[in-house]
Amino acid sequence: MSNRALIVEGGAMRGIFAAGVLDAFLEQNHNPYDFVVGVSAGASNLLGYLAQAPNRSYHIITQLATSKDFYNPRRFLAGGHLVDVKWLYEESNRQFPIDHHLVFNSVPFIAAATNVSNGLPDYYEVTHENIAKALEATASLPLAYKETPCFDEGCYTDGGVADSIPVREAYRRGARDITVILSHPLSYEMPKPKAGWLMKKMFVKHPNVGHALTKRSQNYNESLDFIKNPPNDCVIRVITPPEDFPVQRLTMKKELLDSGYQMGVDEGKKHVYHLRGEHVYQQDECPFC
């Protein structure tokens, strides 16, 4: 049987969609994967999934990620974090503790982060020993988070800088049946940065991170192309928000987040029902499922 992988994109508050999809998977007892890969908020969502903790990611996003302790523009203007990733991880564990035995005795959990020394993606297995730093590193938004998490001889920033959708890495690792949860509708393509020179100027201390940001849209769109045109020996299944998905990266309104979450639940259920032969996708619903 082909190795099966699950990839979950990040996207800040847009991660509420993946939270809904994964909760639907838990409700349907759907976990056929040999390994999972998460980026930024996608890794946090996967933690709740592997811990078999329904609604955990929903509560983290709607209660904690909307808090001023996490997102605080005034603090940022005063020289602090715009988003305090470490606080979010620690407070999530305090308010919504998980069973680490379930997490680390399921399937390999891979997170992606961008190495600040070379601007390239590193893919590391999340373990009991490195989980705090690993989850902090994958979500450490450049400039918005002032610390640079370091572990295992590397220092990192957000994984979405170098590889937002690690579908090609999953294929490289042997996966031939890949499910991808995206945070944008499938019609989305990332536009080229309008001021690449500014990116480089803002990252004088870490020039390779600035260079990676100038190439981010190219890498992102190449991943989308891989999804839409996979190798002949690979099947890629895609779960995406609908075109009217109302959540943006910094959406804080609970009614919009609730709507986005429910869209994820609905799409997650349809995906499982489709695999069971209980629902047939129309071509316009999901051309790559």
40 an active-site residue? yes
Name every residue whose Cβ is closer than 8 Å to that of residue 251 and which is 6 or more positions away in sequence. 13, 14, 257, 260
Across the chain, the runs of DSSP E, i.e. the strands, are 3-8, 35-39, 109-115, 121-125, 150-151, 154-158, 175-181, 235-239
The Cα 150–Cα 131 span in angstroms is 12
Name residue 179's beta-bridge partners: 6, 237
**Beta bridge partner(s), residue 39:** 112
- Identified catalytic residue from 23, 84, 158, 163: 158
Q: What is the dihedral of CA 187, 181, 168, 175, to 10 degrees?
A: -140
- Contact present, 217 and 193 (Cβ < 8 Å): yes
Residue with tokens 């499982």: 272
Contact partners, residue 96, CB within 8 Å, separation at least 6: 53, 56, 59, 60
Pick from 111, 112, 120, 113: nearest CA to 212: 120
Angle formed by the axes of helices 216-228 and 207-214, to 10°? 50
DSSP of 206-233, one letter per residue? SHHHHHHHHTHHHHHHHHHHHHHS--TT
Please identify which residue in the block is written with the tokens 């996967």: 46
Q: What residues contact residue 253 under an 8 Å CB cut-off, 6+ apart?
A: none
Contact 38, 46 (CB under 8 A): yes
Q: Which residues are catalytic?
A: 40, 158
